[in-house]
Amino acid sequence: MRTIPREVPRCGNRDDPVETIRRRLSKARKSELEFYILGALHDATFSKIHKTYRVSQSNISWLRILQEIVKILGRKSWIYKEGKRRSVWILETSMKFDLEKKPESARDKKSYIRGYFDAEGGMPKSQNHFLYLQFSQKDQDDLTEVKEMLDVLGYKCGKMHNPSRRVDKNYWRFFVSRNSHARYMEEIGSWHPRKAKQIKLRMKI
Q: What is the mean pLDDT of the chain?
A: 89
Residues 113-159: tens digit of each pLDDT: 999 999 999 999 888 899 999 999 999 999 999 999 999 999 999 99
Dihedral of the alpha carbons of 43, 48, 52, 58, in degrees to the nearest 10: -40
Residues 161-187: tens digit of each pLDDT: 998 877 788 899 999 999 999 999 999
CA gap 151, 170 in Å, rounded: 23
Considering only CA atoms, give the Rg of the chain: 17
Q: Which of 19, 18, 21, 201 is nearest to 114 (CA)?
A: 21
CA gap 33, 115 in Å, rounded: 9
Residues 76-91: tens digit of each pLDDT: 999 999 877 778 999 9
Q: Residue 174 forms beta bridges with which residues?
A: 135
% residues pLDDT > 90 (the chain): 73
Stretch (H or E) spanning 195: helix 193-204
Residue 105 has pLDDT above 50, yes or no: yes
Residues 59-71: tens digit of each pLDDT: 899 999 999 999 9
